[in-house]
Structure 1
Amino acid sequence: MSAPASQAAQQARALAGAARLASGRRPCRHAAHALSREVALRAVRSLYHELALYPKPGLVSFIDNGSHADMNAATFMRSLFSLRHYYARICRAGYDGAPFAELKRLGIAAEQRMMAATNGINTHRGAIFALGLLCAAMGRVRALRMTLTPAALRTTLLLHWGDALSNHTHATGSSHGLQAAARHAASGAREEGALGLPSVFDVGLPALQSTLARGAPMLHARVDAIFALMAHVSDTNIYHRGGTEGADTVLRSARHFLHQGGTANPRWKEHALDCHRRFVTRRLSPGGAADLLAATCLVHSLTAMPPP
Structure 2
Amino acid sequence: MAEACLRERGHAAADADDAAAAGAIVARHAVRSLYQELALYPKPGLVSLVDTGSHDDMDASTFVRSLFSLRRYFLDIALAGTRRSGFETLRRLGIEAERRMLLATGGINTHRGAIFSLGLLCAAAGRAASSSWQPEVLRATLADCWGEALAGHRGPAASNGALVRSRHAAPGAREQAAAGFPAIFELALPTLRRTLAAGRGLRCARIDTLFTLMAGLSDTNVYHRGGAAGARIVRDTSLRFLERGGTAAGDWEEDAVAAHRRFVAHRLSPGGAADLLAATCFVHSLATEGAP
Quick one: percent identity of the two aligned structures?
A: 56
Residue 163 of structure 1 corresponds to which residue in structure 2?
148
Q: Aligned pair 1:275/2:259, yes or no?
A: yes
Task: Figure out how many residues of one structure are paired with residues of the other and give that number.
Answer: 281
Query: 5 Å matches for 1:185-264?
Result: 185-264=169-248
Which digits, 9 at most, give the CA deviation of each residue in 1:110-162, with x for residues without a partner? 001001111111100000000001100001111xx323311100000000011
d(CA) in 1 for partners of 2:210 and 2:232? 16
Q: Aligned pair 1:134/2:118, yes or no?
A: no
Query: 5 Å matches for 1:133-152?
Result: 133-142=120-129, 145-152=130-137
d(CA) in 2 for partners of 1:269 and 1:213? 20
**Which of 16, 37, 42 is equivalent to 1:50?**
37
Residue 104 of structure 2 corresponds to which residue in structure 1?
117
d(CA) in 1 for partners of 2:159 and 2:50? 28
d(CA) in 1 for partners of 2:286 and 2:83? 18
Cα-Cα RMSD:
1.3
Q: Which amino acid aligns with 1:304?
A: T
d(CA) in 1 for partners of 2:70 and 2:156? 25
Query: 5 Å matches for 1:166-185?
Result: 166-168=151-153, 170-185=154-169
d(CA) in 2 for partners of 1:243 and 1:59? 17
Q: CA deviation at 1:305?
A: 3.4
d(CA) in 2 for partners of 1:116 and 1:185? 32
Whether contact under 8 Å (2:24, 2:75) holds in the other structure is yes
Q: CA deviation at 1:181?
A: 1.7
> Over alpha carbons, which structure has the higher Rg?
2
Q: Which amino acid aligns with 2:149?
A: A
The alignment partner of 1:304 has SS state of helix
Q: Which runs of 5+ in 1 are unaligned?
A: 1-24
Residue 103 of structure 1 corresponds to which residue in structure 2?
90
Which digits, 9 at most, give the CA deviation of each residue in 1:174-206, with x for residues without a partner? 222221121111111111111111111111111
**If the length of structure 2 is used for normalisation, what is the TM-score?**
0.94
Q: Which amino acid aligns with 2:109?
A: N
Residue 296 of structure 1 corresponds to which residue in structure 2?
280
Q: CA deviation at 1:306?
A: 5.0
Whether contact under 8 Å (2:25, 2:290) holds in the other structure is no
Q: CA deviation at 1:172?
A: 3.9
Residue 32 of structure 1 corresponds to which residue in structure 2?
19
Residue 4 of structure 2 corresponds to which residue in structure 1?
none
Q: CA deviation at 1:28?
A: 0.6
d(CA) in 2 for partners of 1:214 and 1:267? 17
The alignment partner of 2:216 has SS state of coil
